[in-house]
Amino acid sequence: MKDLKPVEKLNYEYAFSELEAIVASLEAGDQPLDEATTVFARGQALVKRCAELLEKAELKIRQLTGEALQDFDEAPA
């Protein structure tokens, strides 16, 4: 985990991509415990960052539409 950008500087797509890579590496289980713990902590920070960015996007959409968001219904009514 060298030369990583600060989590708070990452956009959603980059943070999510890095998070996916972390999940895959942890699932592989080929790291020593101390390294896995460090990687897990980075993953937790990325989860928080992604959630924050999604929340901001949702708020912006609500402001733009002037309405509350509704759940997506896949089946036509």
Give me Rg for the CA atoms of the chain. 17
pLDDT tens digit string along 12-54?
Answer: 999 999 999 999 999 999 999 999 999 999 999 999 999 999 9
Domain ranges of the chain: 9-65
Query: Would you state the pLDDT for residue 40?
Result: 97
User: Model pTM?
Assistant: 0.77
Q: Give me the architecture of the 9-65 domain, per CATH.
A: Orthogonal Bundle (1.10)
Q: What is the mean pLDDT of residues 63-72?
A: 71
**Of the candidates 20, 4, 24, 15, the residue with the CA atom closest to the CA atom of residue 57:** 15
pLDDT band at 65 (very low <50, low <70, confident <90, very high): confident
